[in-house]
Amino acid sequence: MTVATTSRRGGFWSRLVALTRKEVRQLLRDRSNLAIGIALPALLILLFGYGISLDIDNAPVAIVVEDSSPTTLDVLEGLRLTTYITPVYVRSMPEATRLMDAHEVDGILRVPSNFASQLAAGQGRLQLIVHGADASTARIIQGYVGGALSQWSLRTADREAGRASTSGDAPFGNVVVEQRMWFNSANTSTWYLVPGLIVLIMTLVGAFLTSLVVAREWERGTLEALFVTPVRPLEILLAKLIPYFGVGMIGFFMCMVAARFLFHVPMAGSMWLLVLSSVLYMFVALGVGLLISSVTKNQFIASQMALLTSFLPAMMLSGFLFDLNNVPAAVRVIGELLPATHFLDLIKTLMLAGNVWPIVIKDCAILAVYALILLTAARLVTRKRIA
Amino acid sequence: MIEFLFRLLALIRKELISVLKDPSSRVILFVPVLLQSLIFGYVATYDLSNVPYAVLDQSRSPTSASLIAHLDGTGFFRRVATLQSDSGIAPVIESQRALMVLRIGPRFEQQLLEGQSETIQLILDARNSTTANSAAAAVAEVVDAFNLEQAQQRGAGAPALTLETRAWFNPNLETRWNFMPALIASLSMLQTLMLTALSVAREREQGTFDQLLVTPLSPGEIMIGKAIPPMLIGLVQSTLVLLITRFWFHIPMAGSAWPLYAGLAAFMLAGVGIGLSISALSANMQQAMLYTFVLLMPMMLLSGLTTPVAAMPRVLQIATMVNPLRYGIDLVRRVYLEGVGLSAVIPDLVPLLLIAAVTLPTAAWLFRNRLV
C-alpha cells in the first residue's frame, strides 16, 4: 500500500517535471510567445508611463478681445495663472473660428466690443465656445474659465464691500476650498494607470496567450498524442499552467520594477500582499484561458473569446480607464462581476493607500473563489477523450 | 479582364465561405461587436454622475447647512455619511464609501460674518486622480456660486458677469459623443486585422496555400482576393456600430454616409495591408495572431480612442503618424460629429492610402518571395 502510494506520487512528480520541461521548451522555441509575454509588456510599460495620460494641461484657447478696456484686461488677468489653458490672442472672430476648425485651439473666449459698457450697466456678457470633439478638455476649459470669472467677480465685490464697510455695512467673508489629494500626492494619472497596466498584462498572458496556445494543441491534435501516454489530465493541465504562470509573474515583476524606479509610484501597502493577490489573479486568468481553449478547441475562436471575455472587459469595465462610479447601475453590476475589477481595486489600494484590511480580505476572497471555480471547471472539461 | 474578375469573385466567395461557414465564427464576428458597442457606450464616460461624499461640519450653523445644501442640489453629489470627528475621515475614504470628505471648521460662520475668508478642507480619494480632479472642480464651482450668492444677498455690488458657453458639435459635452464615433472605426479594426492576418497563415498551416498557387491566380490576385473579404466584414461591423450610435444612443449624425464610407474603406484598406504583411511574415496561425496583437495594443493606445493625442509627449505624437487607427478615428469623428465632407478629411485620407500603398505591395512581394 505504502509502496504503491509512494510510487504513484513519485510517478506524478517525475511525469509533471518531464511535461513541464516539454512545455517550457515549447514556449521558448517560438519567438512570438516571447514577443507577447515579455516584449509587449515592456512596450506597454513605456507607453503607459510616458505616453498615455489623462491629465489635460496647456489646452490652447483663442482669446478674441474686441473691447480692450482696462476692465477687460483686469478680467482676463485671471486666465494667465494656470497651466490648464494657454491663451492664444487673436484679432478677429473669423481668425479664431479658422483656428478652431483646424483644431489648433480647443476653445474661443470672446469679449464683445460693448463688454465694458454693458458690465458698467450691470450686465456683462462673455462668450465661450468650446470644441466638443474632446468633451473632457472642453469641460476643463469651461470649468476653468468659469472659475476665473467668478473669482474676478468676488474680488470686485470685495473691493466694493471694502468701500461699503466704511459706511458701516458689515461685509461677508468668502469660503475658500483647500483640497487634499489623498493617495496620489503627485496628482498624476500615471499612478493609477500603472496598477491597471499590471491587470492588463497578466490578463494578456493568462487568458489570451494561454487560451491561444492550448487551443492550438487541441486544433492540431497534439493533445491527443499526449492522451495515449500514461499522464493524467490534471498533470497535463498543471504542466500547461506552470510556464505561463511564470511568464505572467515575470510581467508582474517587470511592472513592479518600472512602477518603483521609473514612475516612482509609492508602495504604501505590503509587498507580500501584492504578490499574493497577483498569484491569485494569475490563477484566475489561467483558469479563464484553459477553460476557453478546452471548450472551443479552435485557435481563432479561443483567442477572440479570450479578448472579448477577459481582455477588453479588463480594459474597459474594470475601472481602469473609466470610473465605475459614473456608469449606469446595470453596467456597474457587470463590472463588479469581473475578477479584473476586484484585482484592480486591490492592487490600486495596496500600492496607493496601504493595507486597508476590509478591502484586502474581501477582494482576495473573491479572487480565490473565482480561481477555484475556473480551475475546477477547466479540469472538468479537460478529459482524455477525442472530440 | 472579365476572366480576371471571375477568378477574383470565385476567390472572394471561397474566402467568405471559409470564414462564415463555421457557426461559432459567425457569432464571434457579429454578436460581440453589438454587445461591446452597447456596453462601452454606457461605460465610456469621464463625466461625473455620482460622487458619494461625507461631511464633517463642526460649525453646525445655518450658513454651513446652506453650503451643503448647495452641494446636494447639484444632483451628483450624494451625501453618504455625516461625520462627528476627524477620526471618522480616514475610514470612510479608505473603504471607498465616500470619494471625498468636506471638512468645515467650528468657526466657519463666525469668520464669514466678520468678513474674514474661511478655509474649508476637501479631502479626496485620488486613487483615481481624474475623478478626484473633476470632483474638486465641481466643488469649486459650487463654492464660487455660493460666495457670489452670499455677496449679492448682503448687497455688495458683485458685478453681474455671465459666461455664455456654447459647445460645438457636442452641445452637452458628453464623452459618449466622442467615444461612439471612434468605436465605429476601432471595433471593426480589431477583428479585420486578425482575420486578415490569419487568412494566409491558416492556409499555409493547413497546406492549402500550395493548392491556391497551382490555380491560374497570380500572387497579386490572391492578395486582392484575400484583402476584400475582411474589408467587407469590417464594413458590416462598422455599420452595426454606426446604427447603434445613431439609433440607440441617438447621437445625431452631422455628416453624410458617403464620405464616411469612403473614409472607412480607405481605413480598412490600410488595416488589411498591415494584416496581410503580418500574415506573409508569420509561419503559422499562432504567430500571426500574436504578432497582430503585439501591434494592435500600441495602435489602440496611441489612437486617441481613450486619451487625446494632443496630451501625449512629442515623440509619441510622431509615432501616431504611422497608426491607421489614429486617422480612422479622426476621420469618423470629423464626418460624424462635425459633418465635414471628403475634402476636409484629406489630411486623414492621404496617410491611410499611403499606408495601404506601402503595406499591400510589401505583402505581395513577401508572398512571392516566400513562395519561390
- Report pLDDT digits (tens) over A236-280: 888 888 999 999 999 899 999 988 888 888 888 899 999 999 999
**Residue in A180, A181, A216 closest to B129 by CB:** A181
* Residue A171 DSSP label: P
Q: Are A111 and A67 in contact (CB under 8 A)?
A: yes
Q: Are B126 and A128 in contact (CB under 8 A)?
A: no
* Residue B119 DSSP label: E
- Mean per-residue pLDDT over chain B, rounded: 87
- Chain B CB contacts of A33 under 8 Å are 290
> Nine-digit cell at B281?
511574415
Segment A121-149 mean pLDDT? 84
Say whether B117 and A300 touch across the interface (CB within 8 A): no
Confidence of residue B250 (pLDDT cuts 50, 70, 90): very high
Q: Is the pLDDT of residue B247 over 90?
A: yes
The more confident residue out of B326 and B149 is: B326
**Alpha carbon distances (Å) from A75 to A109, A141, A145, B114:** 12, 16, 11, 27
Straight-line distance from the first to the last Cα atom of chain B, in angstroms, rounded to the nearest whole number: 26
Across chain A, how many H-helices and E-strands are there?
17, 5
Give Cα A185 to chain centroid, integer Å: 18
Give Cα A47 to chain centroid, integer Å: 13
Q: Is the pLDDT of residue A83 over 80?
A: no
pLDDT value of residue B372: 39
Give Cα A49 to chain centroid, integer Å: 12
- Mean per-residue pLDDT over chain A, rounded: 84
Which range, A90-94, B245-249, B289-293, has the best average confidence (pLDDT)? Answer: B245-249
Strand-pair partners of B51: B77
Q: Can you list the domains of chain B with their CATH numbers?
A: 14-44+174-371 (no CATH), 51-153 (3.40.1710.10)
Burial tier of A222 (Cβ tally within 10 Å: 0-12, 13-18, 19+):
exposed
Render the burial of B185-224: b for 16+ CB within 10 Å, e for the rest.
bbbbbbbbbbbbbbbbbbbbbeeebeebeeeebebebbbb
Instruction: Give CA–CA dist A256/A351, Å, rounded.
Output: 10
Which range, A98-102, A120-124, B66-70, B216-220, has the best average confidence (pLDDT)? Answer: B66-70
Helix intervals (H) in chain B: 2-20, 23-43, 62-72, 89-94, 108-113, 129-153, 175-206, 209-213, 219-243, 257-281, 285-301, 314-319, 324-333, 346-371
Give Cα B100 to chain centroid, integer Å: 28
pLDDT value of residue B236: 94
pLDDT value of residue A386: 52
Rg of chain A's alpha carbons, rounded to an integer? 30
Confidence of residue A223 (pLDDT cuts 50, 70, 90): confident
> Nine-digit cell at A224?
491527443
Q: Is the pLDDT of residue A3 over 50?
A: no
Comparing CA positions, the residue from B134, A85, A316 lying closest to residue A76 is A85
Q: Are B213 and B294 in contact (CB under 8 A)?
A: no
pLDDT value of residue A45: 86
Pairing of β B77-82 and β B51-57: parallel
Instruction: Give CA–CA dist B204/B56, Å, rounded.
Output: 69
Q: Is the pLDDT of residue B173 over 50?
A: yes
Say whether B161 and A33 touch across the interface (CB within 8 A): no
Q: Is the pLDDT of residue A2 over 50?
A: no
- Secondary structure, 3-state, A20-40: HHHHHHHHHHCHHHHHHHHHH
The more confident residue out of A173 and A249 is: A249
A window 128-167, beta carbon within 8 A of B: 128-140, 142-147, 149-154, 156-158, 160-161, 164-165
Instruction: Give CA–CA dist B337/A159, Å, rounded.
Output: 45
- Chain B CB contacts of A151 under 8 Å are 144
Q: Are A218 and B159 in contact (CB under 8 A)?
A: no
Which range, A20-29, A307-316, B53-62, has the best average confidence (pLDDT)? Answer: B53-62
Sheet holding B77-82, edge to edge: A175-182, B118-125, B100-104, B51-57, B77-82
Q: Is the pLDDT of residue A227 over 80?
A: no
DSSP secondary structure of B188-217: HHHHHHHHHHHHHHHHHHHT-HHHHHTSS-
Q: Is the pLDDT of residue A46 over 60?
A: yes
Residues A179-203: tens digit of each pLDDT: 888 888 777 888 888 888 899 989 9
**Alpha carbon distances (Å) from A261 to A49, A52, B296:** 11, 18, 27
Confidence of residue B156 (pLDDT cuts 50, 70, 90): low
Comparing CA positions, the residue from B292, B367, B271 lying closest to residue A32 is B292
Render the burial of B317-342: b for 16+ CB within 10 Å, e for the rest.
eebbebbbbbbbbbbbbbbbbbebeb
Instruction: Give CA–CA dist A282/A270, Å, rounded.
Output: 18
CA atoms within 13 A on the CB side of B297: 26
Q: Which CATH architecture has domain A59-166?
A: 3-Layer(aba) Sandwich (3.40)
Q: How many residues are there in chain A?
A: 387
Comparing CA positions, the residue from B223, B370, B201 lying closest to residue B290 is B201
**Residue in A172, A301, A331 closest to B112 by CB:** A172
Residues B108-123: tens digit of each pLDDT: 988 888 878 889 999 9
Least-confidence region, from A226-235, A331-340, B127-136 = A226-235
Q: Is the pLDDT of residue A167 over 60?
A: no
Segment B39-44 mean pLDDT? 87
**Residue in A51, A144, A191 closest to B316 by CB:** A51
Give Cα A183 to chain centroid, integer Å: 16
Domain boundary assignment for chain A: 15-52+188-381, 59-166
Instruction: Give CA–CA dist A75/B274, Å, rounded.
Output: 53
**Alpha carbon distances (Å) from B194 to B219, B294, B368:** 21, 11, 22
Segment A82-87 mean pLDDT? 81
Say whether B145 and A349 touch across the interface (CB within 8 A): no
The more confident residue out of B299 and A154 is: B299
φ and ψ at residue B84, rounded to 5 degrees: -105, -25
**Residue in A50, A132, A140 closest to B168 by CB:** A132
Nearest CA in chain B to A174: B117
pLDDT value of residue B209: 80
pLDDT value of residue A55: 75
Instruction: Give CA–CA dist B370/B103, Å, rounded.
Output: 71
Q: What is the pTM of this model?
A: 0.84
- Chain B CB contacts of A327 under 8 Å are 42-43, 45, 49
Task: Chain B: give the shortest CA distance to residue A356, in Å.
Answer: 7
A window 235-294, beta carbon within 8 A of B: none
Comparing CA positions, the residue from B267, B271, B294, B262 lying closest to residue B196 is B271
Pairing of β A85-90 and β A107-111: unpaired
Segment B244-258 mean pLDDT? 93
Instruction: Give CA–CA dist B122/B135, Å, rounded.
Output: 10
pLDDT value of residue B368: 73
> Nine-digit cell at A139?
469641460
Q: Are B104 and B110 in contact (CB under 8 A)?
A: no
The more confident residue out of B97 and A35 is: B97
The more confident residue out of B70 and B313 is: B70
Look at residue A180 and give its three-state secondary structure.
Answer: strand
pLDDT value of residue A326: 84
**Alpha carbon distances (Å) from B184 to A212, B242, B310, B344:** 27, 6, 21, 19
What phi-psi label fits residue A319: left (phi over 0), alpha (psi between -120 and 50 degrees) or beta?
Answer: left
Cβ of A322 under 8 Å from any chain B Cβ?
A: yes
Least-confidence region, from A28-42, A250-264, B181-195 = A28-42
Task: Chain B: give the shortest CA distance to residue A207, in Å.
Answer: 13
Confidence of residue A161 (pLDDT cuts 50, 70, 90): low
Residues B192-224: tens digit of each pLDDT: 898 898 888 888 888 888 788 788 888 778 888
* Residue B120 DSSP label: E
Say whether A156 and B32 touch across the interface (CB within 8 A): no
CA atoms within 13 A on the CB side of A280: 25
Which range, A54-58, A163-167, A298-302, B355-359, has the best average confidence (pLDDT)? Answer: B355-359
**Alpha carbon distances (Å) from B132 to A107, A272, B127:** 24, 28, 8
pLDDT value of residue B273: 93
Render the burial of A26-40: b for 16+ CB within 10 Å, e for the rest.
ebeeeebbebbbeeb
Say whether B113 and A47 touch across the interface (CB within 8 A): no
ipTM of the complex in this document:
0.82
- Sequence letter at residue B164: E
B325 Cβ contact partners less than 8 Å away, ≥ 6 residues apart: B185, B186, B189, B299, B300, B303, B305
pLDDT value of residue A165: 53
